[in-house]
Amino acid sequence: MTSPASTDLAPPQLSAGPRPAQGPAADEGLARRLRALACTAPLHDLDARKANLAGEYTVYAMAEIALAAIDLVTLHMDFDTGADHDQVVARLLPRVAAQAPRRPAAEHERVARWVLENLINVGSVDRGFRAVYGTFGTDGVYVRRDYDFKLVEEVPGYGGGVCLRTTDEAVNVLVGALDTDVTSAQIAAEVKLEVLISRGRLADAQLAAEQARYRTVQYAETLRRTLEATRRNVRAVDWLHGVPDMIAEALDHVADRYRHENAILTNIRRARDEAEEPEHKRRAAELVDIVKDCIRRHTQLQSRLLEAGPLFRAEQDRQAFAAPTRYTGLDLYGQLVAPVLPLPVERATRVTDAFFAHGTGLRTPASVRLGDLVDLLLTPPVEREHLGAEMPEPDLIATPDDSRFSERQLADALRLLDLEHDAPRRLSGLLADARATRGDHPDHGEDLAYLVALLAVHAASPPVGTAYRQGEERLLFAVDDGTPLDDPGFGGADLIVGTALLDAAGMAADRTEAT
């Protein structure tokens, strides 16, 4: 049991003192103590039942794991959700592994899950526990009674998921003495913390800080429930005085705590940095984390408080501006739900049965003809079409080849323009070469000359940027030096056509730098 709070297992009512005489009054105290005792039973039960598990699990201290699990769930209870099931298991694993380091990790996880599931009591329909105890009634008759309780309960989380929350019973088992005014208890814990820190007693300080955090969580939980009720029914809440006062008070409280905890944080940080002993340093660092967590929770609480006003106005718009009606109807809550709930379940069922019988509407009964049924059963299942409908064969029409130049002419032209980088040529010379080229067509030479001329004109404005991006090594270029072209087919300048070598490696390096 390393959890500092768990040493205080005794619930508050145990301190009520000895009862002088037997009788209903003494029995009442006894019943409370019996119930408190029952809350610890599931934990003892874990250790008792571990021998029944398939496998050698006696090495694990199940009660310790269970208390640690309750600890974890309590600390991770946030405003809207509870703790995540898998996260709790994951955080339990180091402790489980420490108890039996040589066992496989899968077994550790199994043990952690077993403990958590048993705390929820997954096997029962209520997902809770029941203890039987006996009391003497006021008439002196001995009655056996069932006490139902839960330790960890599953609640709906975001997106339809399931989250875990610890119940009041579990918190009482864990910390004890929580049945006090939350605010004053927190103040007391924090004052204690400050004193402890000023005296340098960090071990005690951590204990006090952790207790303060439990109280912070409980305080947040209290406020969460209040706000939720506000959301449910605007008229149910006194928005003229009650809630605004409460919000103002809570905001003051948050501001106060925030200041307070920041002061503590500064103090502990100094203690952490000045501490010589590694153990002290570590404890101070842990304390910093705890206080930071407290501050985070207060900030969260504050943002909720600020949302409350707009929420009220939106709900009021929705609910309050309904037109008043001429006559009044049945008050479903006041006349049915509220009177039914305190009744014994046997009698209450008669009312709910009546409501069910008349409130569910109608169902048209399905009628089956035997002939249809036989047909239906004998029909072979329809083959599922995975591929969909068959595609019609596309009716392709060959488009006429209307290219101005043939593939061979392009190849010839590129061959002619494949110049050495240090030997540029004049366009007139290239054109003459092109005309001299023989091909499979009488006009081959003339067409080729035209293509070469086009490529040369293109090269007058070479695509340097593209070549740079694509990392090409050579680039065709053409320069006009003022010499006129003397040619039967073309006019203009007799361009100088050449090939430039590009620094491909350098360009590549530049590119990677640029990106």
Partner 1 sequence: MSDNHAEYAAYPDTWSEQESPRSPAPAPSAAVTPADTADAARLVSFGLQPKLLPARDAEYAELLRRYQEDPAFARLADAVATGLGLIVLEVSPRAGMAVTAGEDSVFAVRMGDYARRANTDSADRFLHGLAHLAVAAMAFPRPEDLADDGYIGRLTVNGVDGFVRQACLRLEQRAEEQGENTDPATDAPGLEAAWRVYARRSTTGATKDARRLAGSTTGIIAKAVAFLTDSGFLQRTGDENGGSYRTTARYQLQVRDMAGSAALTELLGLGVVPVSDGSATLVPPHEGDDLHLAADAGLPFHS
Contact 499, 477 (CB under 8 A): yes
Per DSSP bridges, beta strands 152-156 and 142-149 are: unpaired
Q: From the CB of 388, what's the least distance to partner 1, in Å?
A: 31
Question: Is 81 or 499 the residue whose CB approaches partner 1 more closely?
Answer: 81
**What is the smallest separation between the CB atom of 467 and partner 1, expressed in angstroms?**
56
Minimum distance from residue 246 beta carbon to partner 1 (Å): 4
Q: Which residue(s) pair with 166 in the sheet? A: 152
CB atoms within 10 A of CB 409: 23
The residue among 39 and 246 lying less far from partner 1, judged by its C-beta, is 246
Complex with partner 1: residue 288 or 340, whichever CB lies closer: 340
CA atoms within 13 A on the CB side of 191: 6
- Shortest distance, CB of residue 472 to partner 1, whole angstroms? 57
Q: Hey, is 249 helix, strand or coil?
A: helix
Which DSSP helix (H) or strand (E) runs through 475?
Answer: strand 474-479
Supply the DSSP string of 72-139, one letter for each residue. HHHHT--SS--EEHHHHHHHHHHHHHHHSTTS-HHHHHHHHHHHHHHHHTTTSSSSSEEEEEEEE-TT
Nearest residue to 89 (alpha-carbon basis) of 114, 67, 53: 114
Query: How far apart are CB 154 and partner 1 at their closest, in Å?
Result: 5
Question: 427: buried, middle or exposed (CB in 10 Å: 19+, 13-18, 0-12)?
Answer: buried
**Which of residues 169 and 494 has its CB atom nearest to partner 1 in the complex?**
169
User: What gap in Å lies between CA 465 and CA 484, rounded to an integer?
Assistant: 29
Shortest distance, CB of residue 334 to partner 1, whole angstroms? 3
Residue placing its CB nearer to partner 1 in the complex, 365 or 380 = 365
Minimum Å gap between C-beta 227 and partner 1 is: 8
Cβ 237 to partner 1 shortest distance, Å: 4
User: Dihedral of CA 205/207/209/212: which sign?
Assistant: negative
Q: Are 499 and 473 in contact (CB under 8 A)?
A: no
